[in-house]
């Protein structure tokens, strides 16, 4: 229940089809705010949430009508805050000053749009001398002559940012190759479509994340997790993750976030080697993240605290209150995809494949394992997702 003196805000939550945005909708609706769920997708799952007061279909981010849509909707519904996606921020880039007061993040456009680029992150850290715990990397300016790949690694990842896109294209955000010459060829192929690219060398380890809400230089909330399952199982998006703590990774992430003078929420992603305790920064995402439900289950309510800060309050600092063993999984489709990736890998033993299949079912009965969509007061979304998953599998 809202506390005495609570002032509900009218909040537009963009990308209501995304799992992280659904967590935001649930957090703010549970807190008593009026939530306007917005998406470019007609069947956005967040539209069906019990915590969404309104559902609105927006034009595509590429549409020249998108800024006008935001302008009209904000005025008609007296919106006091907008939780933007990356696509939203790129769509209003030419109008940032007009909408900045609605955004619970830095009011400095240059800082905000730098926060959308992996190339920019590594370039800034390099300039400031914050180079500890960086993996092998190379900054590529695609406007200049293509340089030879100057790093050594078992594999190379070409990371492309929408903020540096010249024109729409079919390329994914990350391209992988094992040879330097092939990596250089990939850069040549994407050159007509992107201005900059970051090449990262592969580093072994477990994926882990540090999450912050920083406001006026103060850490209002923080949380950490490590990935137990990823898609594919060799490394990728998390399907099962657990609350976790690592003092040195936390300290490194905090130092980098403060050096960048970020305001708002931010996820700092690392790869950590349990055998050596070495860790390397992979990227930083200055927006809400897909695994946000885990933080909510652990008692760190980032969206509610963010809106409190934006509204002028000074909430007390928040850390995890749930047991350290709390974990959360995206059962359908991510966990199914994880099992499939293990079973399709010829390098994995038959016994390990069998154990993975059995584990998928036993996790349903583990009391410390939560599900992203099996959220109190809003569990119908779980069944909708399951139905859509089975429907799409049968198509």
Q: Tell me the average pLDDT of the chain.
A: 96
Taking the domain 203-395, which CATH number applies? 3.30.470.20
pTM: 0.97
The Cα 224–Cα 232 span in angstroms is 22
Which pair of structure tokens corresponds to residue 57?
Answer: 């279909």
Question: pLDDT digits over 121-157, tens only?
Answer: 999 999 999 999 999 999 999 998 999 999 999 999 9
pLDDT value for 139: 98
Q: How confident is the model at residue 4 (pLDDT cuts 50, 70, 90)?
A: low
Question: In the predicted model, what is the mean pLDDT of residues 231-259?
Answer: 96
List the chain domain ranges: 10-103, 136-201, 203-395
Per-residue pLDDT at 393:
87
Is the Cα torsion angle 11, 15, 20, 23 positive or negative in sign?
positive
Fold of 10-103: Rossmann fold (3.40.50)
Q: What is the pLDDT of residues 35-63, one digit of tens each?
A: 999 999 999 999 999 999 999 999 999 99
pLDDT band, very low/low/confident/very high, at 282 (cuts 50, 70, 90): very high
- Which tens digit of pLDDT belongs to each residue from 149-188? 999 999 999 999 999 999 999 998 999 999 999 999 999 9
* Whole-angstrom Cα Rg for the chain: 21
Domain spanning 136-201, CATH architecture: 2-Layer Sandwich (3.30)
Q: What is the pLDDT of residue 395?
A: 58
């Amino acid at each position: 229940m809202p506390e005495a003196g609570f002032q509900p805000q009218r909040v537009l939550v963009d990308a209501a089809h995304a799992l992280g945005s659904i967590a935001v909708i649930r957090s703010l609706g549970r807190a008593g705010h009026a939530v306007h769920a917005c998406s470019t997708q007609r069947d956005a799952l967040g539209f069906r949430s019990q915590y969404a007061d309104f559902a609105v279909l927006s034009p595509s981010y590429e549409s020249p009508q998108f800024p006008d849509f935001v302008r009209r909707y904000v005025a008609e519904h007296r919106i006091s805050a907008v939780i933007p996606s990356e696509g939203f921020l790129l769509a209003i880039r030419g109008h940032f000053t007009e909408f900045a007061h609605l955004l619970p993040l830095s009011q400095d456009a240059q800082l905000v749009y730098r926060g959308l680029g992996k190339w920019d992150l590594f370039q800034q850290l390099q300039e400031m001398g914050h180079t500890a715990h960086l993996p092998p990397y190379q900054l590529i300016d695609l406007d200049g002559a293509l340089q030879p790949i100057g790093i050594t690694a078992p594999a190379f990842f070409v990371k492309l940012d929408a903020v540096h896109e010249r024109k729409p294209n079919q390329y994914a955000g990350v391209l992988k190759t094992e040879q330097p010459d092939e990596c250089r060829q990939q850069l040549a192929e994407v050159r007509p479509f992107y201005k900059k690219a970051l090449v990262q060398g592969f580093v072994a380890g477990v994926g882990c994340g540090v999450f912050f809400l920083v406001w006026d230089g103060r850490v209002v909330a923080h949380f950490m997790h490590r990935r137990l399952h990823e898609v594919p199982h060799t490394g990728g998006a998390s399907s099962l993750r657990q609350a976790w703590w690592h003092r040195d990774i936390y300290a490194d992430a905090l130092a980098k976030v403060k050096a960048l003078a970020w305001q708002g929420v931010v996820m700092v992603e690392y790869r950590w080697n349990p055998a050596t305790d070495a860790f390397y920064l992979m990227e930083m995402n200055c927006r809400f993240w897909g695994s946000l439900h885990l933080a909510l289950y652990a008692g760190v309510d980032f969206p509610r605290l963010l809106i409190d800060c934006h509204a002028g309050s000074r909430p007390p600092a928040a850390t995890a209150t749930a047991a350290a063993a709390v974990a959360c999984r995206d059962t359908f489709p991510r966990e199914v995809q994880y099992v499939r990736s293990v079973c399709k890998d010829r390098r994995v033993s038959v016994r390990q494949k069998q154990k993975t299949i059995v584990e998928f079912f036993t996790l349903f009965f583990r009391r410390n394992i939560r599900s992203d969509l099996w959220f109190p007061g809003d569990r119908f979304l779980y069944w909708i997702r399951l139905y859509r998953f089975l429907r799409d599998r049968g198509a």
